[in-house]
């Protein structure tokens, strides 16, 4: 009887721990293709996206935080924005609080720091600016990667990273 009780307790504890750690996971390519637009609404334009660069995470409730590179050549956003971001759960990226919505961001490079500016996609209104720092060592270059919080809790742009915190 004690043995059965101990097994039940272990199963419950393992399941609870897995549920907490598994709250966010990497989104699949199919999920990202269904979520992210082929032409992102940026200010008064609809700018093509490069779906093979898409990255994101999803929680157990089906809320996503995902992004994709914009193909801005020939658009007014050229040089201003480089990425489109969909936020469906409150999150702080680089210390900036984001409500659910659609955003764009771009950056300027200065040595070991990227100055990343985030804007509301529909209006271009500035949400905030954060510094992404060069990652230690020689990490793999990622055009865009949003890591699950159980792995790194970081948005990686090239060899630079911005920490983030999701609000559960």
pTM listed for this prediction: 0.85
Domain assignment of residue 38, yes or no: yes
Predicted pLDDT of residue 16: 38
Domain assignment of residue 18, yes or no: no
Domain assignment of residue 154, yes or no: yes
As beta bridge partners, residue 59 has 24
Q: What is the DSSP letter of 1?
A: -
Tally the domains of the chain.
1
Domain assignment of residue 73, yes or no: yes
Cα separation of 32 and 119, whole Å? 21
Domain assignment of residue 31, yes or no: yes
Q: What is the span of the domain harbouring residue 81? A: 23-166
Predicted pLDDT of residue 145: 97
Can you tell me which residue has the tokens 């009887």? 1
Domain assignment of residue 17, yes or no: no
Predicted pLDDT of residue 13: 38
Chunk the chain into consecutive blocks of 10 residues (it has 168) and report each block's average pLDDT, rounded to whole numbers: 38 39 87 97 96 97 97 90 97 97 96 96 98 92 95 94 91
Can you tell me which residue has the tokens 């490079």? 109
Predicted pLDDT of residue 22: 53
Domain assignment of residue 13, yes or no: no
3-state secondary structure of 119: strand
Domain assignment of residue 78, yes or no: yes
């Amino acid at each position: 009887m004690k043995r059965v009780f101990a097994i039940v307790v272990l199963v419950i504890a393992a399941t609870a721990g897995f549920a907490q750690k598994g709250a966010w996971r990497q989104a699949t390519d199919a999920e990202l293709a269904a979520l992210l637009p082929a032409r992102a609404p940026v200010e008064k334009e609809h700018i093509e996206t490069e779906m093979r660069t898409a990255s994101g995470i999803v929680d157990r409730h089906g809320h996503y935080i995902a992004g994709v590179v914009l193909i801005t050549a020939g658009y007014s956003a050229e040089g201003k924005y480089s990425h489109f971001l969909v936020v469906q759960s409150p999150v702080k990226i680089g210390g900036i609080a984001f409500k659910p919505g659609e955003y764009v961001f771009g950056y300027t490079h200065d040595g070991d720091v990227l100055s990343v500016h985030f804007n509301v996609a529909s209006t271009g209104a500035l949400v905030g600016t954060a510094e992404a720092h060069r990652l230690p060592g020689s990490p793999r270059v990622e055009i865009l990667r949003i890591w699950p919080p159980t792995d790194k809790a970081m948005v990686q742009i090239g060899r630079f990273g911005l920490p983030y915190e999701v609000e559960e």
